[in-house]
Amino acid sequence: MGGTFDSTISKPNANTFKFKGADAVSTVGEIPGSNGEKITNTLWFRVPGGTFMLGIVTDKGKTESLKFKERFFNSLAFE
């Protein structure tokens, strides 16, 4: 996962930002599947000692869950 983070965040058009003080990048992707195509919305970030990914996967065309994306991502708390 660390390598994926490195290659994604270094792309010229990457959506990079700071997430709770950590370097972060968000991605949107598509996953084909036998039960229909899915859309992924992910937040990747790196803190000392690790790379993390939070993600939402939903059926293509059904974006109701994305209304809560920011709330979900921001619910993470570091202690």
Residue 30, helix vs strand vs coil: strand
Q: What is the mean pLDDT of each run of 10 residues along the chain (79 residues)?
A: 88 94 94 86 93 92 89 89
67 within some domain = yes
Domain of 53, in residue numbers: 2-74
pLDDT at 30: 92
pLDDT at 46: 94
Task: Compute the radius of gyration of the chain from its Cα atoms.
Answer: 13
Residue 12, helix vs strand vs coil: coil
pLDDT at 40: 93
pLDDT at 2: 82
pLDDT at 32: 87
pTM of the predicted model, to two decimals? 0.84
Counted domains in the chain:
1
37 within some domain = yes
pLDDT at 3: 86
